[in-house]
Structure 1
C-alpha cells in the first residue's frame, strides 16, 4: 500500500523521521513546518518523493494558501498525520505564563483543527486516514503538565469523536499516545536547558523518533477494514507512580 501522506511539523523529531520512513517505502510525502531550511534539507535527502510547505499552522489563511499551492502530483492526500505541536515550560500552573498556554492551544488544538477541517472533504472522498499525535499526558496527569496535557486530552477525545462522526464513510482515525520520547521537542519545553534535558533522559532508554515513525507506518498500512482507535506507547523504563498526598502538618 502506498499513497500521498501529509505530515505536519516535519522539520524535526517525529515528523522528520516519519517523512523519511514513508518516502523510503514509496509514498509521496508532503511535509509542513515553519523552518524552510529544514524542509529544504529533507527535500535534498528524499528527492522527488518529498514536497515541503512552509507556513505557520496557527495562521489559518497561510494554512489554506499552502494547501491550495500544492502541485498536481501531491494534491490528492490519503493520510493526514497531525504531528505539529509543542509544550512550553515545566512549571506548575501558578508560575506559568498565559502567553505560553495560549501558544500551546493555538498550535496543538486550533491549528490542528484548521488543517483537519480543510482536508476532511478530500479524506472522506478518498476513504483516507487521520493520525493524531496525542500523548500519555492525555490520560495520565503529572505536575507541570497543565495546559499541554489538556491539549492532548482534547486531541484524544477529538479522535474518538471523529471516528463517530465518520461512521460508515470508510475513514480511519487513530490517536497515538507516546510516553517518554527523546527529541528536540523537550529542548523546546525546557527552554534549551541542556542540563534539564540530560537529567530527564540519562539512562532512560527513551522512545526515539524512529520508533514513533515505525508505529505510524504500521497503523497506516493495516488493511483498510482495520482501525486502530488509540495506541499508548511507553519505553520499558517508564511506568506509573503513586498518588501525590499533601499532608496537614498540624
Structure 2
C-alpha cells in the first residue's frame, strides 16, 4: 500500500542523531505535518526543535522500558507513520567474553523494543491506516563475525518484521523493512566502519519506498549488492503467499 509523507503525522524512535535525525529532516522536507521525536535524553533534540519549531514534539522514551513505551503511545495517539529506528550495537564475536551480555542488551532494545513499540501502537496504526517502518540491516541476512550478536538481534528483528507484515498488513497497515549497509553514523564508527554513505540515502529511500508500497528497502551501494543476491529468495519465499 502506497503511503505519502505529505501532511502525515510521524513518530521516530532514536530521532536525535544519525539515521533517525535524517529521517526527521526528510519527513519534514517532504511535507510531514508533525514528527514526534522519541528519545531517551530530551535535551538531545534541541537542534531539531530550533530548526523546525512546532513541527516536532520531543517525548522522553526508552524502548527497553515497557512503561515508557506505553506512555508514548498514550501521548502520540494520532501517529500515522511509525519509524522504529532506535537500536544498539555491542561489538562481539560468538566467543567474546562479553557475548552473552552483548546479546542480552541488543535483544532487549533491537528485538523486544520492536515488540513493545508495535504492541503499543498496533491499534493506532490500524485506526489511522498507517505504516510501520522498521530499521533492520544487511546484518539481518548475513552474520558478520565481529558483530555476531548484533547480527543475531537484527535477524530476529527482521523475522518479526515479516510476521508483522502478515498480521498488521491484514489490518491495512503498511510495513517497510529497511536494510542499510554501513552508513556514516556514530554506530557505524563503533562497529569499525569509518566510511559510509550519508544517512540521507536511508531517509530519502524510506520516503520513496513508502510511496511505492514496498516491503524491503536496501538503500545504499552495499545494501543494493545484497538486494541483487537476495531478490529471488525474497520474491519466492519471504513475500510469496505460500498458502496457495
Pairwise TM-score range, normalised by the shorter structure: 0.7 to 0.9
CA contact (8 A) 2:218 2:224 kept: no
Q: TM-score, normalised by structure 1?
A: 0.81
- Answering whether residue 127 of structure 2 is matched by residue 137 of structure 1, we say no
CA contact (8 A) 1:78 1:123 kept: yes
Measure the CA separation in 2 of the matches of 1:81 and 1:64. 16
Q: TM-score, normalised by structure 2?
A: 0.82
CA deviation map 1:55-101 (0-9, x unaligned): 2110111221233234xxxx311111110001112x32211412222
Which residue, 186, 197, 200 being the options, matches 1:184? Answer: 186
**5+ unaligned residues in a row in structure 2: which ranges?**
1-5, 227-244
Measure the CA separation in 1 of the matches of 2:30 and 2:223. 31
For residues 203-242 of structure 1, what are the structure 2 equivalents within 5 Å?
A: 206-222=196-212, 227-235=213-221
Deviation at 1:239, TM superposition (A): 5.5
Which residue, 11, 14, 21 being the options, matches 1:16? Answer: 21
- Answering whether residue 51 of structure 2 is matched by residue 51 of structure 1, we say no
Residue 112 of structure 2 corresponds to 110
CA contact (8 A) 1:105 1:151 kept: yes
- Alignment size in residue pairs: 219
Measure the CA separation in 1 of the matches of 2:43 and 2:207. 25
3-state DSSP of counterpart to 1:212: helix
**5+ unaligned residues in a row in structure 1: which ranges?**
191-196, 241-250
Deviation at 1:238, TM superposition (A): 8.9
- Answering whether residue 183 of structure 2 is matched by residue 201 of structure 1, we say no
CA contact (8 A) 1:5 1:79 kept: yes
> Structure 2 vs 1, CA of residues 146 and 237 (structure 1 numbering), >3 Å: closer, same or farther?
closer
Measure the CA separation in 2 of the matches of 1:237 and 1:158. 20
Bigger CA radius of gyration: 1
Runs of 4+ in structure 1 deviating by more than 4 angstroms, as ranges, are 236-240
3-state DSSP of counterpart to 1:207: coil
Measure the CA separation in 2 of the matches of 1:39 and 1:118. 23
Residue 96 of structure 2 corresponds to 95
Measure the CA separation in 2 of the matches of 1:63 and 1:237. 30
> Structure 2 vs 1, CA of residues 172 and 47 (structure 1 numbering), >3 Å: closer, same or farther?
same
For residues 52-91 of structure 1, what are the structure 2 equivalents within 5 Å?
A: 52-70=58-76, 75-89=77-91, 91=92
3-state DSSP of counterpart to 1:56: coil
Which range moved further: 100-109 or 153-162? 153-162
RMSD: 2.0
More helix by percentage: 2
